[in-house]
């Protein structure tokens, strides 16, 4: 829990770390060690038996990683956090921990491409089935719940179509059936949206994106109730082993200190670019939370602001979409998001290429759809680059 009820701007800098414990070091030290020595054989026995607190081996716990996990838990108002080597290590550890053969997972329609790949693998190898739901009405959720539904898995905003799902509605229904709700909060970060406060049970993050924020680390985070995270830590995390390195944990601790100020700038830029695109003749649709075209959605209680990612459709073909990307000067063609640099990508042929075409179309991922992650540059420069590239199609 966030001690002293600190604001998130303070918590990202201070929670989980006390310099007194570390010889006064202002920034957390990197404990770059694989294992920890025991003073005696008996101490080793007590540590393994769980009778004495202390470190054993870095796959089971590391002091630098622990600071990150405690800080992240405090930001999401969770009892415990766990860090992983990637967002997918976090997602897979959670989904494997929650399910067994013949179970069922109910998902929002629209998922990160590799999460979709994982679900397909779980189905083929372990007969864990899944269904998709728009989750836009109570009925659309209830009709897809089965006796064997082991969890509900939600992304909001949905990547890359930026559709929003009412998390409180999903959580309220899930409670009736006693089914845990997992939310991928990568796009929003705890600065913009805190699913646990809305009644969801587990939050996963690709920390590669906004949490790290500098495009230099691949990492994942999970937060939730202590009992469930204890079980993940002792099963899928320990025995599959997708743990984060102490150095990468340190990079995240460093990046996180500026999360709130970065998010505000990402949001400022994305809002501005979305409104400029809405008025451009070569653009047929803009998808961004709270933008003019999506105003009917009253999600302002769920999300503080719209985030840094927007998508848009151009009047034209796949070739025209590629022409736009090819004529940008400083905006970078790259997957990923949440970096200082503005990044642009073509979901149908990149992040979501693994999804069969008909499913992809159902999800709204057309050949004309382009996703942009607004960076921290001056919005005028981002817009100038986009506008001159649009003039080439």
Q: Could you tell me how far CA 361 lies from the centroid of its own chain?
A: 23
Sign of CA dihedral 352, 354, 360, 363: negative
Note whether 208 binds ligand PLP by CB under 6 A.
yes
Structure-block tokens of residue 39: 């003073």
The minimum distance between CB 303 and ligand PLP, in angstroms, equals 15
The candidate with the shortest Cα–Cα distance to 338, out of 379, 287, 372, is: 372
Kindly state whether residue 88 participates in binding ligand PLP, applying the rule CB under 6 A: yes
Q: Is residue 220 involved in binding ligand PLP (CB under 6 A)?
A: yes
Report in angstroms how near the CB of residue 167 gets to ligand PLP at its nearest. 15
Distance between CA atoms of 318 and 363, rounded to whole angstroms? 17
Residue number with CB closer to ligand PLP (223 or 389): 223
176: enclosing H helix or E strand: helix 167-177
Alpha-carbon distance of 180 to 202, in angstroms, equals 8
Of 189 and 233, which CB lies nearer to ligand PLP in the complex structure? 189
Does residue 87 interact with ligand PLP by CB under 6 A? yes
**Listed ranges 60-68, 109-117, 162-170, 257-265: which one lies at the site for ligand PLP (CB under 6 A):** 109-117
Stretch that binds ligand PLP, among 203-211, 231-239, 256-264, 341-349 (CB under 6 A): 203-211
Q: Does 209 interact with ligand PLP (rule: CB under 6 A)?
A: yes
Is residue 255 near ligand PLP by the rule CB under 6 A? no
Between the alpha carbon of residue 43 and those of residues 59, 60, 62, the distances in Å are: 19, 17, 18
Q: How is residue 192 written in tokens?
A: 């913009």
Is the CB of 62 or the CB of 115 nearer to ligand PLP?
115
How many residues lie near ligand PLP (CB under 6 A)? Answer: 15
Instruction: Work out how close the CB of 176 gets to ligand PLP at its nearest, in angstroms, rounded to a whole number.
Output: 27
Burial 156-184 (b: 16+ CB within 10 A, else e): bbbbbbbbbbbbebbbebbeeeebbbbbb
Is the Cβ of residue 15 or residue 206 nearer to ligand PLP in the bound state?
A: 206
What CA–CA distance (Å, rounded) separates 69 from 223? 8
166-195 binders of ligand PLP (CB under 6 A): 184, 186
d(CA 291, CA 226): 38
Is 108 near ligand PLP (CB under 6 A)? no
Signed CA dihedral, 241, 207, 337, 377: sign only: negative
**Interface segment toward ligand PLP; rule CB under 6 A; list 3-11, 68-76, 107-115, 340-348:** 107-115
Binding status of residue 86 toward ligand PLP by CB under 6 A: yes
Retrieve residue 42's tokens: 């008996």
Contact 215, 340 (CB under 8 A): yes
Q: Which is nearer to ligand PLP, 196 or 204 (CB)?
A: 204
Asked if 116 touches ligand PLP (CB under 6 A), the answer is no
Secondary structure of residue 281 in the 3-state scheme: coil
Contacts 24+ apart (CB under 8 A), 3-6: 3/74, 6/74
352 binds ligand PLP (CB under 6 A): no
Span near ligand PLP by CB under 6 A; candidates 57-65, 112-120, 237-245, 289-297: 112-120
* Candidate ranges 3-11, 85-93, 222-230, 381-389; the one touching ligand PLP (CB under 6 A): 85-93
Contact window for ligand PLP (CB under 6 A) among 40-48, 81-89, 140-148, 270-278? 81-89
Q: Does 159 bind ligand PLP (CB under 6 A)?
A: yes
Q: Which residues bind ligand PLP (CB under 6 A)?
A: 86-88, 112, 114-115, 155, 159, 184, 186, 206, 208-209, 218, 220
């Amino acid at each position: 829990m966030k001690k002293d009820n600190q604001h998130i701007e303070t918590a990202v800098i201070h929670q989980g770390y006390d310099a007194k414990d570390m010889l006064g070091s202002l920034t957390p030290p990197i404990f770059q060690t694989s294992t920890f020595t025991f003073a005696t054989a008996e101490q080793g026995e007590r540590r393994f038996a769980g009778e004495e607190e202390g470190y054993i081996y870095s796959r089971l716990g590391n002091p630098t990683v622990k600071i990150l996990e405690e800080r992240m838990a405090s930001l999401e108002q969770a009892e415990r956090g766990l860090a992983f080597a990637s967002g997918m290590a976090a997602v897979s550890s959670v989904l494997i921990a929650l399910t067994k053969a013949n179970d069922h997972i109910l998902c929002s329609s629209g998922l990160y491409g590799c999460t979709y790949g994982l679900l397909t693998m779980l189905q083929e190898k372990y007969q864990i089935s899944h269904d998709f739901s728009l989750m836009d009405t109570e009925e659309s959720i209830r009709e897809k719940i089965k006796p064997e539904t082991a969890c509900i898995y939600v992304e909001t905003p949905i990547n890359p179509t930026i559709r929003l799902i009412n998390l409180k509605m999903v959580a309220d229904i899930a409670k009736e059936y006693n089914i845990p709700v997992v939310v991928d909060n990568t796009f929003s970060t705890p600065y913009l949206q805190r699913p646990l406060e809305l009644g969801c049970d587990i939050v996963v993050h690709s920390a590669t994106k906004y949490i790290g924020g500098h495009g230099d680390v691949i990492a994942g985070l999970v937060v939730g109730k202590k009992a469930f995270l204890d079980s993940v830590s002792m099963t899928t995390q320990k025995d599959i082993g997708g743990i984060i390195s102490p150095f990468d944990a340190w990079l995240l601790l460093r990046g996180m200190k500026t999360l709130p100020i970065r998010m505000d700038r990402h949001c400022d830029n994305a809002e501005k670019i979305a409104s400029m695109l809405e008025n451009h003749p070569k653009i047929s649709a803009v998808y961004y939370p709270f933008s003019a075209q999506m105003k009917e959605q009253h999600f302002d209680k769920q999300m503080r602001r719209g985030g840094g990612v927007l998508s848009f459709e151009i009047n034209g073909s796949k070739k025209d979409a590629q022409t736009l990307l090819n004529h940008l000067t400083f905006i970078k063609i790259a997957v990923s998001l949440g970096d200082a640099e503005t990044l642009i990508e073509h979901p149908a042929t990149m992040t979501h290429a693994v999804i069969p075409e008909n499913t992809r179309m159902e999800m709204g991922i057309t050949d004309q759809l382009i996703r942009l992650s607004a960076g921290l540059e001056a919005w005028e420069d981002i817009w100038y680059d986009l506008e001159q590239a649009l003039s080439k199609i």
